Amino acid sequence: MTDPGDRGGRPTMPEAVDASSLFGDDKGAKPVLVVLTGPQVGQRILLEAPAIIGRDPEADLMLFDAEVDWHHARVEPRDGGWMVLDLTGERRTEVNGMRVKQLMLTPDDQIILGGTVVRFEVHDPIEQAYDEAVLERLYKDDLTGLLARRKFDIELSGALDAAARNDETMAMLVLDVDRLKPINDMHGHIVGSRVISDVGALVRAVLQTRRLERALACRLGGDEFGVAVTGISPEDARELAEAIRRAVAETPFVHEAEPLRVRVSGGLAFYPRDGGTALELLRRADEALYRAKGAGGDRITVHAPEADRR
């Protein structure tokens, strides 16, 4: 590793950068940060303003990496170029293996933050369109339009980290479509998939109607959904879960003029009361869901340690 004082001939001040060499003749070219390692590999953000990189869920590039500080680095425009600035003296940012406090970036520079590598690139309009398509596939569930499970897990971990720092609560709701197997058996899996898609749309619609800015929703897998909301009271969380259940129960589902009976059951758990990690919360909510389905379905239950012991 290069000594922090050695810049290897690289400019640290903005006047040393020629903007035309950075963007070439393409006026539509824009700088991009691309994550190369870790659970968020493939994630990319377009740089149009100063960007904070760190574990903060509100950061422009939030990294799920325990070795990364809350606010680890900032990338900002400087007179036609872009500079990276280290925001912590404990784990100083590296560029191409060189520890830096600030450094002007050039295309293909690798910024190392904790155990994560992020590359600085310059993309033309075609590459920018490609970036958008990649993110769409990485982060959105094809069937429901909700978050993909991978993205949900990353966002949930960050939200729990923030809740712990800010002494906030979180509600975790796990939903499951009741008796989907008979629909699949009688009408085929294509119809069953459409039911899952429609239920996902109803979950999204209820959350959008209530304008819950700190809500995360995904399809956990199969016909199971997860919803996490930070800063919500147990009473409001229960009412939200019931609103989703009612929306599904009151929506007509029809296949070839034949009505389908579609209902959902749900289990609720709360941070920090029922668990301190994403895995614990999901497990507790799933235990409550199991109890709801065992009682006949089409209901919401709240995790109770004694009742949910199996």
* Overall residue count recorded for the chain in this entry: 310
| CA-to-CA dists, residue 277 to 38, 95, 224, 235, angstroms | 19, 33, 20, 22
User: pLDDT digits over 174-203, tens only?
Assistant: 999 999 999 999 999 999 999 999 999 999
For residue 37, what are the CA distances in angstroms to 64, 117, 177?
11, 6, 36
Q: What is the pLDDT of residues 190-240, one digit of tens each?
A: 999 999 999 999 999 999 998 888 999 999 999 999 999 999 999 999 999
- Note the helical H segments in 16-140: 19-23, 125-139
pLDDT at 22: 56
Of 243, 241, 262, 266, the closest CA to residue 253 belongs to: 262
User: Which domains, from first to last, does the chain contain?
Assistant: 30-139 (2.60.200.20), 149-302 (3.30.70.270)
- Going by pLDDT thresholds of 50, 70 and 90, the confidence category of residue 90 is low
- Give 91's pLDDT tier (boundaries 50, 70, 90): low
| pLDDT tens digits along 258-301 | 999 999 999 999 999 999 999 999 999 999 999 999 999 999 99
> pLDDT (tens digit, 9 = 90+) per residue, 46-70?
999 999 999 988 899 999 888 999 9
Span 89-114, mean pLDDT?
Answer: 90
Report the DSSP pairing between strands 94-95 and 110-113: antiparallel
Mean of the pLDDT values across residues 67-92? 89
Sequence-distant (6+) residues with CB within 8 A of 172 are 226, 227, 228, 268, 269, 270, 271, 274, 281, 282, 284, 285
Contact 69, 88 (CB under 8 A): yes
Predicted local distance difference test score (pLDDT) of residue 296: 94
251 has a pLDDT exceeding 90: yes
Beta strands in the chain (DSSP E): 30-35, 44-46, 51-54, 61-62, 73-78, 81-86, 94-95, 98-99, 102-104, 110-113, 116-123, 170-177, 215-221, 224-230, 253-255, 258-260, 264-271, 300-302
Residue 237: which of 204, 267, 202 has the closest Cα? 267
Instruction: Provide the percentage of residues in the chain whose pLDDT is more than 70.
Output: 89
Tokens 């769409």 locate to 136
Q: What is the DSSP letter of 109?
A: P
Question: ω into residue 107 within 30 of 0, thus cis?
Answer: no
Is the model's pLDDT at 92 over the cut of 60? yes
Q: What is the pLDDT of residues 9-34, one digit of tens each?
A: 555 544 444 444 555 555 688 899 99
